[in-house]
Structure 1
């Protein structure tokens, strides 16, 4: 009340019928055309629910590996001035694995990509320290598996293969050692993966190499059984030889991406730098 509204000097619409209907309160309806569908509001696009992609775990896996590798490198590169601190291979393996598991739980990725640590008996029989698995939804059955065997810089392969802590040498461990004494640890993990099929990969994880003691590398393949028939012994030297002919090293996320995009049944062999 009492407010003065000035009339504009020019009207934006000069059509008299439009002005007449507006003055009498009659709404203007555009001609009905069934071929024209209403456009969605811009706000509806902002409310779209997040769709989880099947491979969303890959960058999370990379984050977990980065954390585990960095923590393990602290031990690999540490030099004790008094030369008293010498972490055992078992400790280094546990540092990497526990850091990875802790980070994967924090990132809530275990429903899509889980990690199963082997018992001492399983480690001897299967040759694996742990097994990574890409899970199907909603059943959570393993779709793709990676059996990981950790290799350390040691004076002899016998010391590396028998790196079982004294407290773990129970009767069941001794039975497992006897049952698998006819094959090396390398052959056991390859046999385990071969028994499952091409969707199971053996990954030999090097915590340091002879020419690079401070970094972590890996050789992954679902086709090692083909190599066993061509060499007298599947040993560390044979596995490390893969690096000599390789010009490209995959990242951990690149490794998983290659695995999930590979055609079913095809062989795949990769060299990876984890640190």
Structure 2
């Protein structure tokens, strides 16, 4: 398999809106909420500020007014630092009584909720937003959430990053995110529809259906030789592996780190994908903390 940052794999051009997936199940009402969140939204109506008190200096510092779409990058880095630090507390915690064992679902939610809380505090969601998947979407598409760089002033997604959190194999055995007996009817339908593919393959198909401006980011909460750190593999070219390997899974993705000498920071990751040429295949390795 070759997923390269040079050359092209011959896929179709990028698009700022989601293209229909090949699977007809995607056209059902199951994903209507997700599609609606990425559709064009009209700009907010202007409101009168006459008589409104000016914010004090602390509010101005805490909630910056972004004037350039690239200004969100250091704010994103700050959000990631907070989320990683909080999640790492639970990754490394050892209960003396051996009673506390956070499940993969709990760890994922700790990272996501910490990130969202910080991003709201920094007022960056009009430039770089986060769309959380429903349980059905997570099963069908493989993604836990989608980050998007937004165009101004339309707020259409210019670049999208679908994120799937991967956990250490021994931790994944603690509890399944959605046990069969606890699934709703729609979740059971999604599981049945996607049962012939791994969760990683569903992510790859989802991103490929959108185009080269959509990246699949597999985020590792701990790796085999470094259980307390958070890493990631991001690419818009995983589709090149389809048909060349037996399956796309956690082990295959983690093999990208073998022999690697350079890891991007979260800041470097966003700078790279926001400045690359259209249609260019790109794969980067990231160390988030």
**TM range, smaller chain:** 0.7 to 0.9
Q: Which residue of 1 aligns with 2:70?
A: 55
The structure 1 residue matched to 2:158, chosen from 123, 126, 143, is: 143
The structure 1 residue matched to 2:199, chosen from 185, 194, 219, is: 185
Q: Which residue of 2 aligns with 1:216?
A: 230
Q: Secondary structure at the match of 1:143?
A: strand
How many equivalent residue pairs? 225
Distance 2:228 2:83 in 1: 14
The structure 2 residue matched to 1:172, chosen from 172, 183, 186, is: 186
Matched-pair contact (CA < 8 Å) for 1:161–1:185: no
CA shift for structure 1 position 237: 1.0
Q: Which residue of 1 aligns with 2:53?
A: none
Q: Tell which deviates more after alignment, 160-169 or 219-228.
A: 160-169
Flag the 1:225–1:51 CA change in 2: closer, same or farther, 3 A. Answer: closer
The structure 1 residue matched to 2:244, chosen from 230, 240, 258, is: 230
The structure 2 residue matched to 1:90, chosen from 105, 118, 125, is: 105
Distance 1:55 1:165 in 2: 41
Matched-pair contact (CA < 8 Å) for 2:75–2:122: yes
The structure 1 residue matched to 2:283, chosen from 261, 269, 273, is: 269
Residue ranges of structure 1 left out of the alignment (5+ in a row): 1-49
TM-score normalised per structure 1 = 0.78
Flag the 1:234–1:156 CA change in 2: closer, same or farther, 3 A. Answer: farther
Q: Which residue of 1 aligns with 2:266?
A: 252
Q: Secondary structure at the match of 1:187?
A: helix
Q: Which has the higher contact order (CA 8 A, sep 6+)?
A: 2
Distance 2:99 2:175 in 1: 24
Q: Based on CA coordinates, which of the two structures has the bigger radius of gyration?
A: 1
The answer to whether the aligner puts 1:119 opposite 2:141 as a matched pair is no
Instruction: Give RMSD over aligned pairs.
Output: 1.9
Matched-pair contact (CA < 8 Å) for 2:103–2:174: no
Distance 1:248 1:170 in 2: 44
Which aligned segments of 4 or more residues in structure 1 are displaced greater than 4 angstroms? 159-162, 165-168
CA shift for structure 1 position 229: 2.5
CA shift for structure 1 position 154: 2.4
Q: Which residue of 2 aligns with 1:33?
A: none
Residue ranges of structure 2 left out of the alignment (5+ in a row): 1-64
Q: Which residue of 2 aligns with 1:70?
A: 85
Distance 1:166 1:60 in 2: 39
TM-score normalised per structure 2 = 0.75
1:91-111 CA-partner distances (Å, limit 9, x unpaired): 000000000000000000000
Distance 2:135 2:174 in 1: 14
Distance 2:155 2:254 in 1: 34
1:155-185 CA-partner distances (Å, limit 9, x unpaired): 397x599522678511110010001111110
